[in-house]
Every structure is written in structure tokens, then in C-alpha cells.
């Protein structure tokens, strides 16, 4: 049974050493908590897929402590350099071609020629990555298809019983609450595979190029229709709560609801609260979770991307 351990310089170093020995460690980032293992070690990567119940054709993000180290694993394009200058460390994942000497195991990249790379900004996460001294493969630390964790206790609830999980580092509630923006930076124009807090406008400002949505056949393997799902069914665009529904309000809609993503209608606050409130609503007595309308602009695009998947038909 894994234990929640407060993150300090000693436990972060210990966690880095555990990863170097092939064990798994859950750690916080500015977005969501990750389930980390040595990306170069196939046994460690296999343990990650097993713990999540995740299909192994869905590749993992390799986390590193600096842009220099990232560009040693993936071939930087001009666009990738511009984006890295502006938004790394931070909530952005770049898809690049693997370098010839990239030590990340094929199992972590699901046998693709490309690799997903992220340099997180959270200080404790970077100390941990430095201590590990290798790329750390880390999906969100939840069971596959479920809500991503934004607190150490959520990881405990999801994966606490997993024997391969050596430690859950407590780094407090994550600041942003939504997964990183995933950008394919290999082609002529940036392709946003997963929207996040680094928005299309920010990507255009950085690169001078207009980002494009993925075509149906190059969609990110992880962007499945049903994802981020609580156990109860989810309905969107609810303006009031109907019988038996647990309402999650936003702004003026659902002011009297028990849960509100942001009473003042602030999208940044809503993103930070989203997964926490979905989990809380899931624990209430009631048949369905009904969510107030969210404006599809700025960070609202990423929030709605997650909510539509939470509301999608389950496999």
C-alpha cells in the first residue's frame, strides 16, 4: 500500500532514487499529478501501463528537467525552439521526432518515431526529475479513462492499492488543474492535439504560425471519446438542476447549487476546480452530474474538451 509523503528535499531525492531503481512514484506538477517511472526502463514502463489499466498503444509523455535535455531526446524544429523559449518550463507538451540516440524505450513511445516531451514548472517536480537523472515517463496518476488527480489524496483513492507504487509525493493541490497543451511541432504548422492553458492565440504569438486542429486520422492516440469520466453520467449545458441531478454551476448559472466551478465566472478558477468538483459531485447521492454552460473561449476550450469526453458514451 502506497503512503502519502510530504515533498521536501530529502523525500524528493529519495523519490528520484526510487525511479532510478525501477520503482514508480506519483508526483505533483502545475497541471495534474503524474505516475512516474524510468522512461528508459521497459519493466518500469510496463508497471505504469498495468497500474493504470491503460492500453499500451497509448504513448506516454517523457518529463525532463530542462529544455536542453528535452532537445537531446527529440529533434527541435524552429517552431519547437520558439515555443520552448516562451512556455517551458510550463504546462506544454511538444511532440517531436525522436533523436537517433534517444534512450527512451519504445514501450513508452508505443513504438512511434515521435516522442512527447514536457518540462514542468513546479519547483518540486523539477527537483525530483533532477534527482531521477533520466527522463521520467508519467501519465496522469488515475485509472485509465477516469478523472485526473489534482491532489495527493486523489492519487491515493485511485492507485493506493497498487503494489508497484513506492511513494505518493504530496505537493499540495495543483495550481492549474487541467493537463498540459499537447502540440505536434514537427510539421509546417503547430497542431494542437490536446487543448490546455497554452492557448491557440499564445501558440500563434510565439511561432507566428496559425495552429491547426488535428485531422481525423492523426488524432492523438490518447484523445479517446470517453475520458476524464466520473462514475455517474454527465450532462452539459444545464441551466438549472433537474430532479436527482447534482448540479455543478459556473458564474450566474447554478448560484444556489452546492458546487460552483467559479461563482464569479472566472475560467482559470474553473479549470483549477474542475476535477476536484467532479470527484466531489460523484460522491453525492444523485443519478447524474449536470454542468452549467461554459463559454467556449480561452481556457474554456480546454475545459469543454475535457467535459465533452466526461459526458461521452462510455465504451
DSSP letters along 296-309, please? SSTHHHHHHHHHHH
Residues 225-254 binding ligand TXA (CB under 6 A) are none
CB of 277 to ligand TXA, least distance (A): 19
Element (H, E) at 26: strand 24-27
**By CB under 6 A, residue 70 contacts ligand TXA:** no
SS3 percent helix, strand, coil of the chain, rounded to 5, is 30, 20, 50
Cα 30 to the chain's mean position, in Å? 10
Q: Which of 77, 82, 140, 150 forms a contact with ligand TXA (CB under 6 A)? A: 140
Instruction: Give the long-range contacts of residues 126-129, CB within 8 A, separation 24 or more.
Output: 126/65, 126/89, 127/9, 127/12, 127/13, 127/16, 128/7, 128/12, 128/15, 128/16, 128/25, 128/27, 128/36, 128/169, 129/16, 129/63, 129/64, 129/65
Partner that binds at residue 180, options Mg ion, ligand TXA, none, CB closer than 5 to 8 Å by kind: ligand TXA
**By CB under 5 A, residue 5 contacts Mg ion:** no
144 CB burial (10 A radius; 0-12, 13-18, 19+): middle
Partner that binds at residue 93, options ligand TXA, Mg ion, none, CB closer than 5 to 8 Å by kind: ligand TXA
**By CB under 5 A, residue 31 contacts Mg ion:** no
How many alpha carbons lie under 13 Å from residue 177 in its C-beta half-sphere?
20
Partner that binds at residue 5, options Mg ion, ligand TXA, none, CB closer than 5 to 8 Å by kind: none
Q: Which of 140, 174, 241, 262 forms a contact with Mg ion (CB under 5 A)? A: 140
Pairing of strands 288-291, 245-249: parallel
Q: Which of 15, 24, 26, 32 forms a contact with ligand TXA (CB under 6 A)? A: 32
Residue 114 vs 153, nearer CB to ligand TXA: 114
**By CB under 5 A, residue 220 contacts Mg ion:** no
Q: What backbone phi and psi angles, to 5 degrees, belong to 109?
A: -100, 10
CB of 259 to ligand TXA, least distance (A): 23
Nearby residues of 122 by Cβ (< 8 Å), 6 or more positions away: 28, 29, 30, 171, 174, 175
Q: Which of 16, 37, 59, 76 forms a contact with ligand TXA (CB under 6 A)? A: 59
**By CB under 6 A, residue 174 contacts ligand TXA:** no
CB 159 within 8 A of CB 153: no
Residue with the CB atom nearest Mg ion in the bound state: 140
Q: Which of 60, 147, 165, 167 forms a contact with ligand TXA (CB under 6 A)? A: 60
Kindly state the number of chain residues that form the binding site for ligand TXA, as judged by CB under 6 A.
28
Residues 192-221 vs ligand TXA: string with x where CB under 6 A? -xx-------------------------xx
**By CB under 6 A, residue 93 contacts ligand TXA:** yes
What end-to-end distance do the CA atoms of the chain give, in Å?
A: 30
Residue 13 vs 144, nearer CB to Mg ion: 144
CB of 129 to ligand TXA, least distance (A): 11
CB 294 within 8 A of CB 239: no
Choose one: 8-16, 114-122, 246-254, 287-295; the region binding ligand TXA (CB under 6 A): 114-122
How many alpha carbons lie under 13 Å from residue 83 in its C-beta half-sphere?
36
Binding site for ligand TXA (CB under 6 A): 29, 31-32, 34, 58-61, 93, 95, 109, 112, 114-116, 118, 138-140, 179-180, 182, 193-194, 220-223
- Binding-site ranges for Mg ion (CB under 5 A): 140
Amino acid at each position: 500500500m502506497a503512503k502519502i509523503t510530504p515533498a521536501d528535499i530529502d523525500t524528493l531525492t529519495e523519490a528520484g532514487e526510487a525511479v532510478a531503481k525501477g520503482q514508480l512514484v506519483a508526483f505533483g506538477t502545475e497541471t495534474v499529478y503524474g505516475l512516474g517511472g524510468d522512461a528508459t526502463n521497459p519493466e518500469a514502463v510496463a508497471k505504469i501501463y498495468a497500474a493504470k489499466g491503460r492500453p499500451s498503444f497509448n504513448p506516454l509523455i517523457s518529463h525532463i528537467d530542462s529544455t536542453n535535455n528535452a532537445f537531446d531526446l527529440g529533434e527541435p524544429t524552429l517552431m519547437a525552439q520558439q515555443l520552448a523559449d516562451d512556455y517551458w518550463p510550463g504546462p506544454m507538451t511538444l511532440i517531436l521526432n525522436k533523436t537517433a540516440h534517444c534512450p527512451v524505450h519504445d514501450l513508452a513511445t508505443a513504438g512511434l518515431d515521435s516522442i512527447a516531451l514536457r518540462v514542468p514548472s513546479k519547483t518540486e517536480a523539477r527537483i525530483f526529475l533532477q534527482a531521477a537523472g533520466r527522463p521520467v515517463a508519467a501519465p496522469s496518476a488515475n485509472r485509465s479513462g477516469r478523472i485526473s488527480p489534482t491532489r495527493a489524496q486523489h492519487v491515493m483513492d485511485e492507485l493506493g492499492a497498487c503494489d508497484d507504487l513506492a511513494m505518493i509525493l504530496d505537493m499540495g493541490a495543483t495550481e492549474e488543474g487541467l493537463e498540459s497543451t499537447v502540440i505536434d511541432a514537427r510539421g509546417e504548422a503547430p497542431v494542437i492535439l490536446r487543448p490546455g492553458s497554452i492557448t491557440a492565440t499564445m501558440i500563434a504569438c510565439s511561432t507566428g504560425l496559425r495552429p491547426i486542429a488535428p485531422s481525423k486520422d492523426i488524432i492523438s492516440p490518447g484523445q479517446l471519446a470517453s475520458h476524464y469520466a466520473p462514475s455517474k453520467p454527465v450532462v452539459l449545458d444545464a441551466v438549472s438542476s433537474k430532479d436527482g441531478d447534482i448540479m455543478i454551476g459556473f458564474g450566474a448559472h447554478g448560484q444556489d447549487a452546492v458546487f460552483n466551478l467559479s461563482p464569479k465566472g472566472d475560467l482559470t478558477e474553473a479549470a483549477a476546480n474542475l476535477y476536484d468538483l467532479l470527484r466531489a459531485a460523484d460522491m453525492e447521492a444523485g443519478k447524474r452530474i449536470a454542468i452549467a454552460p461554459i463559454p467556449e473561449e480561452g481556457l474554456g476550450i480546454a475545459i469543454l474538451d475535457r467535459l465533452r469526453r466526461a459526458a461521452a458514451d462510455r465504451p
